[in-house]
Structure 1
Amino acid sequence: MFPSLSAERGLEEVLDAHRLSLKRRCERVTEGTDQSETLLNSIFTELYIIQGQSEEVNTQHEVRQLETASKKNTLHDTPIKCQDIFKALPDQQTLIRAVLTNGVAGVGKSFSVQKFTLDWAEGLGNQDVSLVIPLSFRELNLIKGEQYSLLRLLHVFHPTLQKVTAEQLAVCKVLLIFDGLDESRLSLDFRNNEVVSDVSQQSSVNVLLTNLIRGKLLPSALVWITSRPAAANQIPPECVDRVTEVRGFTDAQKEEYFRRRWSDEDLSSRIISHIKSSRSLHIMCLIPVFCWITAAVLDHMLTTDQRGELPQTLTDMYSHFLLVQIKRKKQKYEEGHETSPQQLTEADRELLLKLGRLAFEHLEKGDIMFYQEDLQRCGLDFTEALVHSGVCTEIFKRESVIFQKTVYCFVHLSIQEFLAAVYMLHCYTNRDTKVLKDFLQRDWPYKNSQSRDQDYPSLHVFLKGAMEKSLRSKNGHLDLFVRFLHGLSLESNQRLLGSLLCRTDNRPTLIQRLFRGQLGHTDNRPETIQRAINNL
C-alpha cells in the first residue's frame, strides 16, 4: 500500500510541476513580432468557432473563404466555445476522442490552443483531463528522421514529464495537442504505416503520430489537431470525431479588439470607422493578425503628422506596413503621406528582396515555415540582417524551439504573399527572364507584336500569365499573391515603395516607362488598366 501511495504522490508532484511549466509558457504571448510580449489574458478576445466547416474549405484561397464567410447568414451555424470542443452536444451520445480544428492563417488557432492550455494549467477549465501535452509540428519537423518512442518523445519535449512511466501514462486521462498541421514536413501515411501500440516502442515520428491519431497508440488519449484548411485533408475523416472551424472575429469582437488596444477612445473609434468604410479591410479584420497589422499602420498615421488618405486597399495597407516598420525601427520618420525611395537604404532593399525571394519560392511549394538551410539558399543571414536593418523582426519571426534550434516564419501568410509579389514584380522590371520563365512555364515565350520588347511580356500579358497560373491551382494558393501583383503595378504603390521596384542599374523600369508613355500607344496607362480589369 505504501509504495503505491508514494508513487501516486510522486505522480501528483510531477503533474503539478507540469501545470506550472505550462502556465509559465502560455501566460505570455507575442502579437505579431518577437519584440512585444504581453499577458495573454489581457489581450485575448473570444473567437467565433463553429462545429463543422465551410464547403469551400479546401478549394478556395483563404481570403476568398473569408469573403464567402462574411456574406453568410450565421443563424444555421452551431457555435462552440474553445473550452468545450471535447464536450458532446445535447443530442450527441458518442465519445469525442479526436478533434480537428480548421482555420485560415492567423485566425487564432494557436492562440486558442494557448488559451485552452493556460486555462487548464490555472485550474479554470477541463479539469477532468489529467495531463495536457501541447506539441507543435514546427518542433516535430526537427526530429522527422529520427527514431523515438512516444514516452521518450514526451520526456524530450516536456522535461517536467521525465519521471512519468508507461504505466502512469496509461492510467492518466491525456490530451495531446498537435498544433499547425499545415507547417508539417512529416509524411503522414495512414494507409501503409506499421502499427505501434506500445508507448515504449521506438519508431519514426510520422508513424507515432499516425498511430496516435488512429487510436492504435494510447487509445485512451484525447487528440486535438489544428490546421489551415488546405492541409486538413491529410487526416482521414474516419479518424476524426469532430471538426470545428475558427472563423475569427465577429463584427462586435473586431471592435472589442481595437478598443482593448487603446485607452484613447477617440483614436480607437476613428480606426474602427475607417475599417468599416473599406469592404476589403473590414473582411480581413476577421483575422486577428490582420487587425494587428492594421492597428500598427493606422495608429502611426493617426498619431503622427502624416497627411493624405488612409490606406483603403490590402496592397496599400501592406505597402504602408513595410514602411512604418522600417521607420519605427530606425526612428527616421519624415512628414508627409508619401515616402520617398531614399528612405529605403540599400541594406533594407537588399534584405527585403531576399525575403521576397524566400517568400516566393516557398509560396509556390506551399511552405510557411523555414529553417536555417532555407534562409541560406536565399543568401539570408538573419543575425547580420538584425544589425543592418530593423524591418526584419517586424515582418519575420524567429523562434527558438526544442534542441535550441531555430525556425522562422512571416508574421502572417499574407505578408509572405505580399513580399513574394514584390519580388516577382522586381524580377519583371529587372528582366530576370529565368525567374519569369520558371514561374510562367508553359506560357513562355511571349511574342508581343505590338510592343517594342518583342521577346518580353508587356505588363498586362505578364499579369494575365500570373493570373492564369493561379487559376490552375487546386486550392487557390496563389490568388492573393496575384491580387498583390496587380495592386503593386499601380502607380500609387510604385511611388510608395520606390526603390524596391526600380531597376538595379537605375535605368527606368518597364512600369516607369509605361507611366511616362514611353512604350507606345498599345501600352498606355488607361488601356493597360482596362486590359488588366478585363482579364480579372
Structure 2
Amino acid sequence: MNSDKSRNYPPVFNHEPEPSETKEKKRDMSQSAETACAEVCVVDPSPGTDFGLQNVLDVLKVTLKTRYEHVVEGTDKIGRGALLRMIYTELYITEEQSEAIQYQHEVRQVESACKKIPCEIPISCQDIFKTLPDQQRPIRVVLTYGVAGIGKTFLVQKFTLDWAEGLENQHISAVVLLSFRELNLVRDEQYSLLELIHVFYPTLQSVTAEQLTVCNLLFIFDGLDESRLLLDFTNRKLVSDVTQKSTISELLTNLIEGNLLPSALIWITSRPAAVHQIPPTCVDRMTEVRGFTDSQKEEYFRRRFINKELSSRIISHLKTSRSLYIMCGIPVYCWITATVLEHMLTTEERAELPKTLTDMYSHFLLVQTKKKQKYHEGQEMIWQEITSADREVLLKLGRLAFEHLQRGNILFYQEDLEQCGLDVTEALVHSGVCTEILKRESVIFQKPVYCFVHLSVQEFLAAVYMFHCYTNRKTEVLQNFFSKDISSLEDFLNS
C-alpha cells in the first residue's frame, strides 16, 4: 500500500501539550544538566562577573558534543547507543534545482535515482555553505531534501558534532539545531528569538541580544515535512529585532528572509513533498541527499558488523535481489535489512532468506516480535509462529498505521496509541513488540513521541491491516477507503 495521497500536505499532529504545560516544562529546562555543565566547564569565574561570550560558546560545544556523539540507530534502546563517528557512512549529496524535485512515491524516487548516471559533483556535508567556483553570491540559506530514512537527521547531527569537536567550520560561532518536532510543541506561544534560543539551549542563557547579533550563527531546522507551523512568507509581520516577541512561524520566516539576523546561516532539511513551503527566492542552495552509492552500501554493512564473513554474506545476498539492493540506498532500510539477515544467519533458523521487499518486511516483524518472546525452558518458538496476543498487537499497530497514514501523520502520542487499543505500558514495555517496531523519540518537554522506524514500515503494516479487514469482511473500513465495491481478491490487490 503506497501513501501517495498523504504526501501533498504536511503531516498533522494530534494531542500535543497545551501552552500552560510547556511553560512549566520550560522552567524545568532552564535548570537542566546543560546549565550545570556551563557552571562546571567555566574555569574559576569571579563572583558576579559575566563568564564571557567565548566561554559560553565553548560550553555550548561541550553540550552539543555530549548530545550527538552517541546515537541510536533504528529503534530506541534505553542505555544503548553507538558512537556516531564510528557508524556514520558518508552520504551522496548533490546540488539540485527546485524544478528537479520529484513528487512521486518515495520508493519510486529511490528507484529513479539509481537509474541516473550521476554527472553532478557531489557536495560534502561540511562544504554545504561553501560556494562553487562558478557561484558569485554567498550561500546563506540551504534547503536539503531527501526521502524518509535517507539520513538527513544523521547528516545534520554529524555536521554539528564535527563543529563541536573543533574539526570543521570553525568560522561559525554557534550552531543552534532545532527540530520541527520540538518547535511544534511551542507553536502557539510567542517568543523573541533570544527567548526561543534560551528555552531550547539553557547553556546560552547568559548570552545577550548585543552578543547574539555579533555571533556567526548557524540555525539548523530539521524536518520541515513534520512542521505544523504555517510559514506565510506573504502576509508575515516584519521582525528585525532579536528581542521582539512574535509567533514561532514569524520568527522563522523572518530568519529565512534575512530580516532577522541577516548574517545568520540557515539550513533546513525536508522530505520532497514539503519543500514548496519555502519560496525558491529565499533559497541560495538546494541540495538532495541521494543516500548511499553502491560502495557506500557495502561500507555500511562492513562498519556495522565486526564479523567480516557475516557482512560479506549479507552483501552477496543483497546483490542477488535487485529490489533489495536498490532499497539499500536508504540508510534506515540498510538497518532493517541488517537486523533481519543478522538474525537469520546467526541463529538456528532454517527459513529461506528474503528476496523481495514483502519478504523482508514480513521477516522484520517476525524478528522483532521474536526478540521479546519468553521461551519455555528448553523450547523455542517455531519461526513462522507468533502468539495470538502478538498477532493482535500487530493488527492494532496496523490500524494505527493505516488511520494516521490517511491523515498524513507520521508522529504519534500516547493518546493515539490508546485510541487504537494499544496499552502503552503493557504493549511497549512488557511484550516489547511495539518498542521494536515503533521508535520512541527523545522526550520533548517530557512528552514522549512515537513513530515507525520508517515510512515504508508504516505503509506495510497499514497494508497488512487492510488485507486483514478484507479477509475478515470488515466492510465499513473498506468502504471508507475504497471508492468502489471490492468483490474479489484480485480487485482488492489491484486497488
TM-score by length of 2: 0.86
d(CA) in 2 for partners of 1:328, 1:270: 22
Contact 2:70–2:81 under 8 Å retained in 1: yes
CA 1:244 to 1:406, structure 2 compared with 1: closer, same or farther past 3 Å? same
2:409 is aligned, of 322, 344, 367, to 367
Partner of 1:386: 428
1:462 pairs with 2:495: no
Mapping of residues 334-413 of structure 1, within 5 Å: 334=380, 339-340=384-385, 343-346=386-389, 348-413=390-455
CA 1:217 to 1:377, structure 2 compared with 1: closer, same or farther past 3 Å? farther
d(CA) in 2 for partners of 1:23, 1:282: 34
* Superposed CA offset, 1:175-231 (max 9, x none): 000001111122221112211111111121112111111111111110000001111
| Range with bigger deviation, 373-382 or 404-413 | 373-382
How far off is 1:269 after superposition? 0.8
2:83 is aligned, of 22, 39, 49, to 39
2:355 is aligned, of 312, 317, 329, to 312
Q: Please say which structure displays the higher CA radius of gyration.
A: 1
d(CA) in 2 for partners of 1:375, 1:206: 29
1:439 pairs with 2:466: no
Q: Secondary structure at the match of 1:463?
A: helix
1:213 pairs with 2:243: no
d(CA) in 2 for partners of 1:43, 1:400: 20
Q: Percent identity?
A: 69
Aligned residues: 443
The higher relative CO (CA closer than 8 Å, separation ≥ 6) is in 2
d(CA) in 2 for partners of 1:195, 1:262: 53
Q: Secondary structure at the match of 1:143?
A: coil
Q: Secondary structure at the match of 2:353?
A: coil
d(CA) in 2 for partners of 1:463, 1:335: 31
1:296 is aligned, of 339, 349, 371, to 339
Contact 2:95–2:123 under 8 Å retained in 1: yes
1:269 pairs with 2:299: no
d(CA) in 2 for partners of 1:400, 1:269: 34
1:52 is aligned, of 59, 77, 96, to 96
d(CA) in 2 for partners of 1:237, 1:101: 13
Q: Secondary structure at the match of 1:330?
A: coil
Partner of 2:68: 26
Q: Secondary structure at the match of 2:439?
A: strand
* Superposed CA offset, 1:149-190 (max 9, x none): 111111011110111111111000000000011111222211
Contact 1:305–1:335 under 8 Å retained in 2: no
Mapping of residues 56-75 of structure 1, within 5 Å: 57-74=101-118
How far off is 1:377 after superposition? 2.9
d(CA) in 1 for partners of 2:144, 2:285: 8
Task: State the one-letter code of the partner of 1:28.
Answer: H
CA 1:53 to 1:245, structure 2 compared with 1: closer, same or farther past 3 Å? farther
Task: State the one-letter code of the partner of 2:107.
Answer: V
* Superposed CA offset, 1:440-492 (max 9, x none): 1x32xx2xxxxxxxxx5211122233xxxxxxxxxxxxxxxxxxxxxxxxxxx
Partner of 1:281: 324
Q: Secondary structure at the match of 1:277?
A: coil
Q: Secondary structure at the match of 2:319?
A: helix
1:246 is aligned, of 282, 286, 289, to 289
Contact 2:429–2:435 under 8 Å retained in 1: no
Task: State the one-letter code of the partner of 2:487.
Answer: P
Question: Unmatched 5+ residue regions in structure 1?
Answer: 1-5, 447-455, 466-536
Partner of 1:428: 470
1:84 pairs with 2:127: yes
d(CA) in 2 for partners of 1:195, 1:55: 29
d(CA) in 2 for partners of 1:232, 1:328: 39
d(CA) in 2 for partners of 1:301, 1:435: 36
CA 1:46 to 1:53, structure 2 compared with 1: closer, same or farther past 3 Å? farther
CA 1:108 to 1:245, structure 2 compared with 1: closer, same or farther past 3 Å? same
CA 1:290 to 1:274, structure 2 compared with 1: closer, same or farther past 3 Å? same
CA 1:60 to 1:230, structure 2 compared with 1: closer, same or farther past 3 Å? same
Partner of 2:460: 418
How far off is 1:372 after superposition? 3.1
Contact 2:418–2:424 under 8 Å retained in 1: no
In terms of fraction of residues, the more helix-rich structure is: 1
d(CA) in 2 for partners of 1:304, 1:403: 41
d(CA) in 2 for partners of 1:66, 1:228: 13
d(CA) in 1 for partners of 2:427, 2:365: 15
CA 1:90 to 1:418, structure 2 compared with 1: closer, same or farther past 3 Å? same
d(CA) in 2 for partners of 1:108, 1:331: 34
d(CA) in 2 for partners of 1:376, 1:328: 24
Contact 2:209–2:242 under 8 Å retained in 1: yes
CA 1:55 to 1:236, structure 2 compared with 1: closer, same or farther past 3 Å? closer
| Range with bigger deviation, 48-57 or 203-212 | 48-57
d(CA) in 2 for partners of 1:213, 1:378: 39
Contact 1:53–1:102 under 8 Å retained in 2: no
Contact 1:98–1:213 under 8 Å retained in 2: yes
CA 1:56 to 1:425, structure 2 compared with 1: closer, same or farther past 3 Å? farther
Contact 1:53–1:245 under 8 Å retained in 2: no
**Moved segments of 4+, more than 6 Å:** none
* Superposed CA offset, 1:261-286 (max 9, x none): 22221111110000011011000000
Contact 2:102–2:109 under 8 Å retained in 1: no
Measured on the aligned residues, the alpha-carbon RMSD in Å equals 1.8
d(CA) in 1 for partners of 2:99, 2:116: 12
